[in-house]
Structure 1
Amino acid sequence: MSYKNIITEENNGIRTITINRPNKLNALNKETIEELHEAFDDANNDKDTKVIILTGSGEKAFVAGADISEFANFTVENGGKLAAKGQELVFNFIENLETPVIAAVNGFALGGGLELAMSCHFRVASNNAKLGLPEVSLGVIPGYGGTQRLPQLVGKGRAMEMIMTAGMIDANQALNYGLVNHVTTLEELIPLCEKIASKISRNSSVAISAAIRAINANFKDGVNGYDVEVKEFGNSFGTEDFAEGTTAFLEKRKADFPGR
């Protein structure tokens, strides 16, 4: 499948999705959001894809934000629809994807870019990364889940400060906050993500999908995460991956999971 604003590559079960708008610092516009949805849906439906890495083209930016020119003249109704559609198509979609997603944050991840990174299951940053939610400096607030996911990741007080000041933090501060899992050089960013992805891909994709659902349940209103964990744990006993994993353990060999 070909796209105008993104590039996809597959290698040894790892699908890399690269936002490719370097002249716009990979800013998110409507077309890019729609293409991201298609690319993630395609990867998630491909049983050979075990892990997805999301990054931006070039050395300056992961995603420098949303394309402001597209919504500068929006009405109240238009603004609400923009946020709702974006969350449905990409941000909530990625968060709840069955295939694990790693954000490789190269350079600026601002506004919608940081919100995109936060919707991924975890983040690895290059040491030149700058992260922030500057929306209040434009007279608006984060609309793609930033006010919800940032407090979950860094705590309420830090999230309040980051959003209210509209400031940026560097990669090491993001690591200290728990916003990213690892910091490395720009040159080693993708190799490190691929190394982590390779470790993930050796495990049961069925069990990983169940773990994603159980972890996410803890952050959903009206849902008891423990109950979801119990259900997913029990369901695991009926999978072929469980049979293979336990048999391989008892036979002292590496498991060859069928993904069922």
Structure 2
Amino acid sequence: MSAQGEVHLSIEGAVASVTFDRPEARNAMTWAMYQQLRAHCEKLREDKSVRVVRFQGAGGEAFVAGTDIAQFQDFTSGKDGVDYEHRIDGTMQLLAGLPMPTVAVVQGWCIGGGLAIATTCDFRIATPASKFGVPIARTLGNCLSMANVAALVAAFGRSRVQRLLLLADMIGAEEAQACGYLVEVAAPDAIEASAQKLCSKLASLAPVTQEVSKEALARLLRHSLPDAEDLIRRTYGSEDFREGVQAFVGKRPPVWKGR
């Protein structure tokens, strides 16, 4: 593992495993890690031997704790934010476009970009202590793309997403299971067995049915999705966003000014 982290791909039989490996930073994603994730998705999309793909974080403390915020110090305008959100949307489209079922195996923190990845997967299982959130109203002062907001609303419901985005609340595993976001909550020493059982079941079912059903559901989500580039440009071009980044890197509370 490099200091910048890596995203590993391994294939065993019909099951592929993608691992986010940067545990010292709770698997926060660097630009290089996003590129590796995209490359793995492009490879898996063409591999007819793979029937299921599972995603997990290394270290047991986090799935992915968002994007590495230090990278945002290079942003100078709202256009940088628009370009970034387009890149994230492109990555999520590649992940969502995998023809086989996908499973997120969550232990610990699942935050920001990590929540986007887990939400893009078809199924999610987690440990009881896992936490799900997008605390950007508290930490960074940025925003999500319309595609990511729509995906969260489809997965959690509007009221919970308002709590995630406006209150910077975290949702625990019990609530996430109760609202249907998680298919199972398993103890840390049992989650691997649960993941293997779920992947084995998915791999035993009709792949064409799974593929076309995934595409049908994706088309419903994409239908009439409104544009939000103006909202992204305003947010990433704001003084508050620059303050949020500097405050996070400087390990101090941000001072929001509303401009």
**TM-score grouping bracket, smaller chain normalisation:** 0.7 to 0.9
CA contact (8 A) 1:135 1:141 kept: yes
Q: CA deviation at 1:222?
A: 4.5
Q: CA deviation at 1:73?
A: 3.9
Aligned match of 2:47: 46
| Aligned residue identity for 1:39 | H
Aligned match of 2:152: 150
Q: CA deviation at 1:191?
A: 2.0
Between 54-63 and 43-52, the greater mean CA deviation after superposition? 43-52
Q: CA deviation at 1:134?
A: 0.6
| Aligned residue identity for 1:168 | M
Verify: 1:134 aligned to 2:135, yes or no.
yes
Distance 1:144 1:51, change over 3 A: farther
Distance 1:104 1:144, change over 3 A: farther
Distance 1:135 1:145, change over 3 A: farther
Aligned match of 1:200: 202
Between 180-189 and 60-69, the greater mean CA deviation after superposition? 180-189
User: Could you tell me how far apart the structure 1 residues matched to 2:104 and 2:146 are?
Assistant: 16
Identity of aligned residues (%): 25
CA contact (8 A) 1:103 1:122 kept: yes
CA contact (8 A) 1:83 1:144 kept: no
| Aligned residue identity for 1:178 | G
Cα RMSD between the aligned structures? 1.8
Taking structure 2 as the reference length, the TM-score comes to 0.80
| Aligned residue identity for 1:203 | L
CA contact (8 A) 2:151 2:221 kept: no
Task: Tell me the number of residue pairs that the alignment of Structure 1 and Structure 2 aligns.
Answer: 220
CA contact (8 A) 2:5 2:30 kept: no
User: Could you tell me how far apart the structure 1 residues matched to 2:147 and 2:60 are?
Assistant: 26
Residues 135-162 of structure 1: CA deviation (Å, up to 9, x unaligned): 1222112348432211111211121122
Aligned match of 2:190: 188
Q: CA deviation at 1:124?
A: 0.8
The residue correspondences of 1:57-206 to structure 2 (distance < 5 A) are: 57-74=58-75, 75-88=77-90, 90-137=91-138, 138-143=140-145, 145-206=147-208
Distance 1:144 1:63, change over 3 A: farther
The residue correspondences of 1:20-35 to structure 2 (distance < 5 A) are: 20-35=21-36
User: Could you tell me how far apart the structure 2 residues matched to 1:146 and 1:167 are?
Assistant: 17
| Aligned residue identity for 1:136 | A
Q: CA deviation at 1:50?
A: 0.5
Between 123-132 and 141-150, the greater mean CA deviation after superposition? 141-150
Between 140-149 and 73-82, the greater mean CA deviation after superposition? 140-149
User: Could you tell me how far apart the structure 1 residues matched to 2:40 and 2:192 are?
Assistant: 19
CA contact (8 A) 1:14 1:194 kept: no
CA contact (8 A) 1:115 1:145 kept: no
Q: CA deviation at 1:165?
A: 0.9
CA contact (8 A) 1:18 1:54 kept: yes
User: Could you tell me how far apart the structure 2 residues matched to 1:206 and 1:148 are?
Assistant: 26
Aligned match of 1:212: 214
User: Could you tell me how far apart the structure 2 residues matched to 1:207 and 1:42 are?
Assistant: 21
Aligned match of 1:16: 17
SS for the counterpart of 2:19 is strand
Gaps of 5+ in 1: 224-260
Gaps of 5+ in 2: 226-259
| Aligned residue identity for 2:34 | I
Higher RCO (Cα < 8 Å, 6 or more apart): 2
